[in-house]
Structure 1
Amino acid sequence: MLAHRMLFDEPTIAARVQELARMIARDLPEPTPVLIGLLTGSFIFLADLVRALARLEIEPEVDLMAVSHYGPLVASSGLVQIHKDSALDLHGRVVLLVDDILDSGHTLSMVRAHLAARNPRWLRSCVLLDKPGRRQVAISADYVGFEVPDAWMIGYGLDAYGQGRGLPYVAALHAADPAGKDVTT
């Protein structure tokens, strides 16, 4: 396992997801939004958010998109590719884009523009983690779980080199992984 330091434990994450669900539910113009999660990192957050919204009598339709902008290294290439698009008709719909982390801003910016071109009536974004110190694109999420430092995050769906995704908490990796590769960028 990669050397890491826990930032947010399970109860803290669960409480924050409930808070986010309450904020989102208050803002939704209708109780049947479309939630679009970005694979793979957001799948745990998305599932917990869907359940939290259901407790508030919000019944979202769920879809997933697969996008990437990381090559063999952990640094963003800046080029975002859609590998799986949403198959839903979003015209006139209420849409919430859900992602694990807002880092450089390239992914959220491109996907938000892509979805906006499909003419939803309402389009907002929600991220579990926000790393503003790494922003390269002027964008912010409408709903943010936690602000995090400039370090590589693992756990609660996030991974590094395929490791750490199943951890029930969010952690920051130490400056180098066991192979000596810098993972803070």
Structure 2
Amino acid sequence: MTAAPRIRTLFDENQIARRIDEIARQIATTDPRDLLVVAVLKGSFMFAADLIRALHRAGLAPHVEFTHLSSYRTATVSSGQVTILKDVDSDVRGRDVLLVDDILESGRTLAFAKDLLAARGARKVATCVLLEKPGKRAVRVNPDYVGFTCPDLFVVGYGMDVAHAYRQLPFVGVVEHGADDNQGELTFNG
């Protein structure tokens, strides 16, 4: 029987909550018009939910939509092509859109979604990510709001998973393995 892996905390619940409140106050100062928050599934669902509540506390009343995009599908390395698995239902024309994602790494997914929403007539598309891994960028995209700069580690928790596990954790952490475990498979996030 193998022991369950240990999860080392990178960003705890309190750090995350404080940073989300700061971001929501920053967004509120921009006085967005007809704000639509578009959460990128699946990894951003917890971050987006907490951010939406923080936006409410900051005096905003955003509408909420979801999109599911993938450049990985079943692979472990990005294909470089983004596929829309679930599109937004709302018309974005003339609206301020806040695109929310869990991690900004290569930038392909975020750049694709931002360009798509802008092409559909959004007045403004701002981007907000919980984690940014700046050394991993493959395309030119700079987020408007960043929760934390993240080391180049495979992270789980707070909506992010590995093989559908650990999404429920209230913090962002790293799975630590013993010396005899294969760590090489956990070097990216999708």
- Normalised by the length of structure 1, the TM-score is 0.92
After superposition, what is the alpha-carbon deviation per residue over 1:111-146, rounded to whole angstroms, capped at 9, x for unaligned?
111111011112100000000111111111100000
The within-5 A match list for 1:142-157 is: 142-157=144-159
Instruction: Name stretches of at least 5 consecutive residues in structure 1 with no aligned partner.
Output: none
Q: What does residue 8 of structure 2 align with?
A: 5
The within-5 A match list for 1:87-126 is: 87-126=89-128
Q: Which has the larger radius of gyration?
A: 2
Counterpart AA for 2:120: R
Q: What does residue 84 of structure 1 align with?
A: 86
Stretch moving more, 32-41 or 166-175:
166-175
CA shift in 2, pair 1:38/1:178, >3 Å: farther
The within-5 A match list for 1:130-169 is: 130-169=132-171
Over the residues paired in the alignment, what is the CA RMSD in angstroms?
Answer: 1.8
Task: Find the residue that maps to 1:24 and give its secondary structure.
Answer: helix
Contact 1:2/1:164 (CA < 8 Å) preserved in 2? Answer: no
Task: Find the residue that maps to 2:111 and give its secondary structure.
Answer: helix
Percent identity between the two aligned chains: 45
CA shift in 2, pair 1:147/1:175, >3 Å: farther
Task: Find the residue that maps to 1:79 and give its secondary structure.
Answer: coil
Structure 1's consecutive aligned runs of 4 or more residues displaced over 6 angstroms after TM superposition are none
Equivalenced residue count is 184
Q: CA deviation at 1:168?
A: 0.6
Q: What does residue 33 of structure 1 align with?
A: 35
CA shift in 2, pair 1:183/1:61, >3 Å: same
- Normalised by the length of structure 2, the TM-score is 0.90
Contact 2:5/2:177 (CA < 8 Å) preserved in 1? Answer: no
Task: Determine the C-alpha separation between the residues in 2 that align with 1:163 and 1:178.
Answer: 17
After superposition, what is the alpha-carbon deviation per residue over 1:36-86, rounded to whole angstroms, capped at 9, x for unaligned?
000000110010001001011200000000111114343222221001111
CA shift in 2, pair 1:18/1:84, >3 Å: same
